[in-house]
Chain A
């Protein structure tokens, strides 16, 4: 035997549903009692009036609202309120979303189509000597690597060392110091060693002369 549902109790208590429409009531003492309790509480609750404030209060309330609204209207709007205006917010959000989408898709669209045709300059089994015992050896560059590395490798094979050194020298002042400062101690030692090695060799100009 299933008891009445809350909705049915409410409909019965409010007279929206006649008791004859709920035959279960006749057979269930618990539901009859619950319905009687519900009606009693509704009766008791409805008899509780809210205290009536002074008649002067209503004009006072209107005046308070009027003052608050006047203050609101006079208050300069904050940047947040300006930004959150639909006329500003919607185009701004649309532009931001479009910028993010372009930033994600454009580089791939621009580079990806040309990559597969580039020949990879390194053989699969080339090993790169480790410059320092503390640094892990670089894995050989292969076809499964990021194709963009292929571009870098292709460029690197055509760039002359002295040319590259000159380009670095043209960088903004202090940038090479900052870069060197960002290296670990082992990396700095390795850089020193490479520079000393390079300085000991005759430059391209000396070779020509």
Chain B
């Protein structure tokens, strides 16, 4: 049984002793709703109460968005995977301090941006070369078009990786995570005006960097 930090013993996240995998519970013997059926607030409460599989479900619901955020920041799968794990671990540690002032997703983005910003300040981003990347489904387009599109996408990703951290965060959250400017302001702890200015400058700088790459 796993317990959240500060939880009394006997309450925690149930883990199978055989394969150390936690499984979100589907039914309960206490008449409570199954974890998989809980809405966000109930799920957070379940995590804090140490219900079996509750945090596992948080990871399951948000892992793709968190991974993509990290990937957009660092530009390679290996680092994005490590950072995603770090984001969830920090979320687990800090779940008690989550006040519910924003959605859980926005809160996770905030952690993700902090983790990624810390990462990019200590390590220069390494973007994957074309061959190392897995291609999106392009079966209907010609081989040449697909290669050209991939090439251009790689250039754009590399250009994004060269943006100043705050501009990069703003661009990624707006363009790829589709957060509103207000939500981005909440994540980055800045004003909506500053977010829009950062977005404007990010796109301007992106154009400049891509022009230098050409």
Contacts and interface: CB of A to CB of B under 8 A. Distances in A.
Interface of A: 6-7, 9-11, 37-38, 40-42, 44-54, 57-58, 61-70, 72-73, 77, 85
Interface in B119-178: 133-136, 152-153, 156-157, 160, 171, 175-176
Given A42-B175, A62-B59, A69-B2, A53 B193 contact: no
B56 A48 contact: no
B196 A7 contact: yes
B108 to A, nearest CB: 12
Given A51-B77, A62-B59, 14 more contacts: A10-B200, A37-B203, A40-B207, A45-B206, A46-B176, A50-B68, A50-B176, A58-B60, A62-B56, A62-B63, A64-B81, A65-B88, A69-B13, A85-B6
Contacts of A7: 193, 196-197, 200
Label chain A's interface by main secondary structure: helix
13 contacts: A6-B197, A6-B199, A37-B204, A38-B200, A44-B156, A45-B171, A48-B152, A50-B68, A50-B71, A52-B134, A54-B134, A66-B15, A68-B85
Contacts of B71: 50-51
B12 interface: yes
B82 to A, nearest CB: 9
Nearest to B176: A50
Chain B interface size range: 35 or more
Of the candidates A40, A66, A67, A77, the one having the most CB atoms from chain B within 10 angstroms of its own CB is: A66
A66 B23 CA distance: 10
Contacts of B201: 6
A8 to B, nearest CB: 9
B197 A65 contact: no
Given A68-B89, A73-B3, A51 B203 contact: no
B81 A50 contact: no
Given A45-B171, A51-B134, A72-B93, A64 B203 contact: no
Contacts of A38: 200, 203-204
A83 to B, nearest CB: 14
Contacts of A37: 203-204, 207
B67 interface: yes
A49 B13 contact: no
Of the candidates B84, B136, B199, the one having the most CB atoms from chain A within 10 angstroms of its own CB is: B199
- A-B pairs, top 7 by smallest CB distance, nearest first, are A6-B200, A41-B203, A65-B88, A7-B196, A10-B196, A6-B197, A48-B153
Contacts of A66: 15, 20-22, 56, 59
B92 interface: yes
Contact of B63 (A44, A50, A58): A58
Interface in B176-205: 176, 181, 193, 196-197, 199-201, 203-204
Nearest to A74: B2
A46 B59 CA distance: 26
A70 B2 contact: yes
B26 interface: no
Given A51-B134, A53-B134, A70-B15, A61 B200 contact: no
B6 to A, nearest CB: 7
A69 B67 contact: no
